[in-house]
Structure 1
Amino acid sequence: MTERNYYKIVDPLFIDPYAGCLLPVKFDVLSEQRLLPYCLATKFIDDKLLSTLDKVDGPKQVVLFTDGMDTRPFRLNWPASTIIYDISPEEVFRSATEKLQDVGAKIPRRCVFHHIPLNSSNLQHMLGSKGFNGTKPSIWAFQGLPVMNMESFKDILRVVSNLAMKGSLLLGELPIWLGETDFECKSTTKRCLESIFMSCGFHVEVIEYNGLLKEENANIVFVADHLRFSDDQMEIWRRELQRIEEEGDEDGFEEL
């Protein structure tokens, strides 16, 4: 089989009717071959997002960390009552949104969409102001968001850990070089990731999807379970304990 025929996929992994408007005028056809690992990762993330949401009753919260050009809010068949939050660079998002609107891209009916600028001084506060609820299930996806080093990714993990209800999922794709920016992690990338995720309250699994890890220069695809209570959940517990203590003090006063 020739290399050219290898990349002729009769049944596409997924169909993106809007990606064309975001491509540069001169698109190198050979780039399609290099995009295969990215397409495999995108397909996995798409499927995991939708299959997880199908199990959620009531409003569904989805948070996407993107490069500002993610077409998922428009092309995926989101269930009714899905609230989508896109965290991405504002200038890129605005430019991409104009192009997407020009080709008729729309958020599905009965769904809500919010954009949160990546450079917001307080992402946690911004999400809360847009209605995000840390006592409700949520699923978080990370793909394309520009991060400079592992420390900046840790900052994102901490935000997710503070906001996400216990049992929520964080999944996505990390640049392979990100794990190599830390000298101590060069030869043990998987163990390094496990340690970093666990320090923020996540149990992570590195995914091999359709031979994805075998692809040259493939990024790291992961799924992480959140093991901690969110700040909102902890606040509910704090108020409940305070109420119990106050009732106990009143009972003791009456006995005296």
Structure 2
Amino acid sequence: MTLSGVGATSLGVARARARESLRPDRLFDDPYAAAFAVAGEHRAVTPARARLAFHVIIRTRFYDDYLLASGCRQVVLLAAGLDTRTYRLPWAPGVQVYELDLPSVLSYKAGVLAGVDAVPRCSLTTLPVDLRTDWPSALVGAGFSPAVPTAWLIEGLLVYLTAVEASLLLTRVGSLSAPGSRVSFERNNAASAIAAGDRAGIESYAELWKGGLGEDPVAWLSSHGWSPETHALVDVAASYGRTVLDESFSGFLTATYDG
């Protein structure tokens, strides 16, 4: 089985995570990333590809820290891709994680992880859905409780959606969030910033980008019941002992739902 379209972009992310996991000063250890990486096409490293990989590495560690520090016992990974946090992070007892993504992605992921005998370190429910459709019904039907504070992660997804689709997705997240819930995603259009003036080597990704939310995400969150915080990539990278390769990089948002 192979992946195509947006689903195939997760293979590039897995390759970046696999390379980082081999470094003596690695920011995280993903012992399963290599199993996905070998399945993907290995391409020459271009400046744009190097910048994108750097962004993936910093965001992986940032989101790891965000999820573990959230204190939430209910976690939802929207567009989970080939992420293996449910298998590699030290989750607190009683944490329930829901992974949502396209059927082809989750099927491919399950097959690879079964081949390396990976075992979740939390209670895991996977939901094969298209996040442009009525995924909230599937989520609630699988046992998710809107009354319980939830940590939401929307990693690398919004840029592949139109402004209408992104706004609807975030509105649905808010409608399912109890006060005290958390959400995190990339600030502004990080992907376009990475590729500004140079898309050599990442054309297959760039042709899928639709622009994302299309407005100030801080203002959007503030007007929809969230208290947002911004995290510049240069500052996040520095806190991990890494130097940003290109100052045009964006960063991340975290927000708490006030209700």
Whether TM exceeds 0.5 here: the answer is: yes
In the alignment, structure 1 residue 125 sits paired with structure 2 residue 149: no
- Structure 2: how far apart are the matches of 1:183 and 1:114? 26
Of 18, 42, 50, the residue aligned with 1:27 is 42
- Return the alpha-carbon distance in structure 1 between the equivalents of residues 170 and 131 of structure 2: 16
Q: Does 1:200 align with 2:224?
A: yes
What's 1:71 paired with? 84
Structure 1 residue 127 displacement after superposition: 1.3
2:258 corresponding residue in structure 1: 227
Of residues 147, 162, 168, the one that matches 2:181 is 168
| Equivalenced residues, count | 210
Displacement, 1:46? 0.2
Whole-angstrom CA distance in 2 between matches of 1:107 and 1:49: 16
Which piece of structure 1 moves more, 132-141 or 115-124?
A: 115-124
Displacement after TM superposition at 1:113 (Å):
2.5
Q: Deviations over 1:171-196 (max 9, x none)?
A: 133542579948985xxxxxx11222
- Code of the residue aligned with 2:130 in structure 1: it is L
- Residue matched to 1:12: 26
The offset of 1:121, in angstroms, is 4.0
**Aligned residue runs from structure 1 range 1-256, under 5 A:** 10-23=24-37, 24-28=39-43, 30=45, 33-34=50-51, 35-53=53-71, 56=72, 60-108=73-121, 111-119=123-131, 121-145=133-157, 147-173=160-186, 175-177=189-191, 181=211, 192-208=216-232, 209-211=236-238, 214-216=244-246, 218-228=249-259
Distance 2:100 2:213 in 1: 29
What is the distance in 2 between the residues matched to 1:123 and 1:42? 24
Higher-Rg structure is 1
2:199 maps to none
Secondary structure of the 2:237 match is coil
Q: CA deviation at 1:47?
A: 0.9
CA apart distance, 1:39: 0.7
Structure 1 segments unaligned to the other structure (5+ residues):
1-6, 186-191, 229-256
TM-score normalised according to structure 1 size: 0.71
Query: Identity over the aligned pairs, expressed in percent?
Result: 22
- The amino acid across from 1:97 in the alignment is A
Q: Classify the secondary structure of the residue corresponding to 1:14.
A: coil
Structure 1 stretches of 4+ moved >6 Å = none
Question: 1:198-242, CA deviations, whole angstroms, 9 ceiling, x for partnerless residues?
Answer: 2332222221212489543635311011121xxxxxxxxxxxxxx
In 1, the alpha carbon distance for the partners of 2:132 and 2:212 equals 26
TM-score (norm. length: structure 2): 0.70
Partner Cα separation in structure 1 for residue 213 and residue 94 of structure 2: 44
Deviations 1:97-146, CA, capped at 9 Å, x for gaps: 111111111112x6232324125742221111111112211100111336
Which deviations, in whole Å up to 9, do the C-alpha atoms of 1:14-39 show, x marking residues without a partner?
A: 00001111114542473784312211
For structure 2, the residue ranges without an aligned partner over 5 or more in a row are 1-19, 194-209
Cα pair distance change 1:48/1:182, threshold 3 Å? closer
- CA separation of 1:172 and 1:137: change in aligned 2, threshold 3 A: same
| Helix, strand or coil at the partner of 1:210 | helix
Residue aligned with 1:223, SS: strand
